[in-house]
Amino acid sequence: MMHDYLPITRADMNIRGWKQCDFVYVTGDAYVDHPSFGHAIISRLLEAHGYKVGIIAQPDWKDPSSISVLGEPRLGFLVSGGNMDSMVNHYSVSKKKRQQDSYTPGGVMGKRPDYATTVYCNLIRSVYKKAPVIIGGIEASLRRLAHYDYWSDRLKHSILIDSQADLISYGMGEKSIVEIADALNSGIDIRDITFVEGTVYKTDSLESVYDALVLPSYDSMKKDKLEYAKSYYIQYGNTDPFIGKRLVEPYKDNLYVVQNPPAKPLSTEEMDQVYSLPYMRNYHPSYEELGGVPAIREIKFSLISNRGCFGACSFCALTFHQGRIIQARSHDSLIEEAKWLTNEPDFKGYIHDVGGPTADFRYPACEKQIGKGACPNKQCLFPEPCKNLRADHSDYIELLRKLRNLPRVKKVFIRSGIRFDYVLADPGKKFLKELCEYHVSGQLKVAPEHVADNVLSKMGKPRNDVYRKFVKEYNDMNGRLGLKQYLVPYLMSSHPGSGLKEAIELAEYLRDLGYMPEQVQDFYPTPSTISTCMYYTGYDPRTMEPVYVPTNPHEKAMQRALIQYRNPKNYELVEEALTKAGRTDLIGFDKKCLIRPKSGFKPGFPQGKTGKDNGNGKRTESPGGQKDRKKKTIRNVHKKSTKK
């Protein structure tokens, strides 16, 4: 087997002696042959099973000839929008066009269409009427059944209908794609491949569909949002590969979309095999003159050690895509890859990350999950850690020690995020010391998301007192180690359940910390999350109780401004929010106030702490004051919270 990039042209096929590809993979990303990219994993896995795979990356969707550069494949087309949903890739939460696409050569925007998977499939259908089309990747996976689409603000069909594709391989896809390929290769018609776990198909009859739960019809959900909330939670309760049921979603004219149960998780041995495939571990050399592909910089010297997440935050789609059962690579597999990284010419001694969706998850949450699956209506960490939870960092600690002791490795960082409630639940308490002493680069980013407990409950996050406890233990540990390292919290505005009252509570918390975050994430309603269901329906699907949802753009702007109340550009919005909420007590000169009255307001001033009195009751900025405050911002984060 030739160790090279997979063919992207007919000339590449000729070098390999191919007259026809078995599969042509069409992707919305540039071709990056690295295991952090879904198209690389799936194509290399098929190659390992003896199939010939060619790549068409970012075809011109306005030109039908762009889809035929490799000819018609023998078995079918594989289509993915890319590593991100194309709409998230293109637009911010305010629906403004982004300036850069990190998955495109040179970071250039506009090289893929909106709703890329659907557009590519329709392009294929315009040229090859009968070729089998299998879609996958996160865009197809999270749109596999009827879903709320934030960008068009409506309930959309299963992507299987709008794309004209034959089959969806949802989730990570390694097991299902090989089974699909083998079925096609044996001569089974694509319309008869209805038996593969981890797939979704269309049918005009339910005669052969057994043991299925019938969801509300598309028409009924479109008429009644509560019906959609009910349907969504049935789907959510059937995302487990061991106990998940087959689901049927009815449409018009005897059309049904059938979701088979999820594929089983990969074993450690299977994970190791996937990551040992002969990747080139870089972008295709044809992109070099265009400036390369920016996304490679973030992952080139990082290690993917696990997948899946039992944290199950409401705003995260991982439960629908990777599932809640942790799958992890072996130490030997990760050390072998790390050794390869250290021999790269541009390796500087730093492994940037060892993790996954949640870095410190290395085991399934409990022994039961290994053979019987995750509990359908119960979370492992929320609202309290389950009594059966296996909170144990010993394997992760051992792995990190092995990696940092490798020759040429100066430092091993953890950047993909940890669950602070899981750290606290570990009775051994050894990981926090290990983390602070060896794996923090001065600042540790954590995600409390909010401080109001009623908002946190909607988010599926632990209570604020849990985070405060972690802050204290983190600061105490750094104190014992003689280190000056700080926490940088990720915060989210406008999540369902958050009104101006809760946004002000968060602003007051930040005031007491003496910290204003440089970046704030507005809640982004992406397909197939509990939070998005709340946003669209106004109901929490877990309880079917009404939930307040901030949807007005102006209110959302006020909530965001409150988190950054010190920014002079936000003054008008903050004043309006405080007035509207009846909290004008926070407008004044007292140290507890967020802003000054307009008569005493001078842009750039934090509340009454810097500058000198100029004789008329106002303060003037001392030279360099703004720059000094920026330097002090991170240093002061969380110091005050431990004194409360």
Annotated binding site for [4Fe-4S] cluster: 309, 313, 316
Q: For helices 571-580 and 500-513, give the axis angle rounded to 10 degrees.
A: 120
- Judged on CB neighbours under 10 Å (0-12, 13-18, 19+), 614 is exposed
Task: Give per-residue burial for 63-74: e unless 16+ CB within 10 Å, then b.
Answer: eeebbbebebbb
Check if the beta carbon of residue 494 is closer than 8 Å to that of residue 449: no
The closest of 464, 467, 472, 567 to 515, measured between CA atoms, is 567
**Distance in angstroms (rounded) separating the CA atoms of residues 173 and 170:** 6
Residue by residue, DSSP assigns 32-95 as EESTTSHHHHHHHHHHHTT--EEEEES--TT-GGGG-TT---SSEEEEE--SS-HHHHHB-TT-
The closest of 529, 524, 507, 525 to 516, measured between CA atoms, is 507
- Judged on CB neighbours under 10 Å (0-12, 13-18, 19+), 282 is middle
- Which residues face 546 on adjacent strands? 539
Structure tokens at 624: 């360099």
Q: Which amino acid is at 97?
A: K
How far is Cα of residue 631 from the mean position of the Cα atoms in its chain? Answer: 31
Question: Whole-angstrom distance between the N-terminal and C-terminal Cα of the chain?
Answer: 64
The closest of 480, 568, 474, 572 to 516, measured between CA atoms, is 568
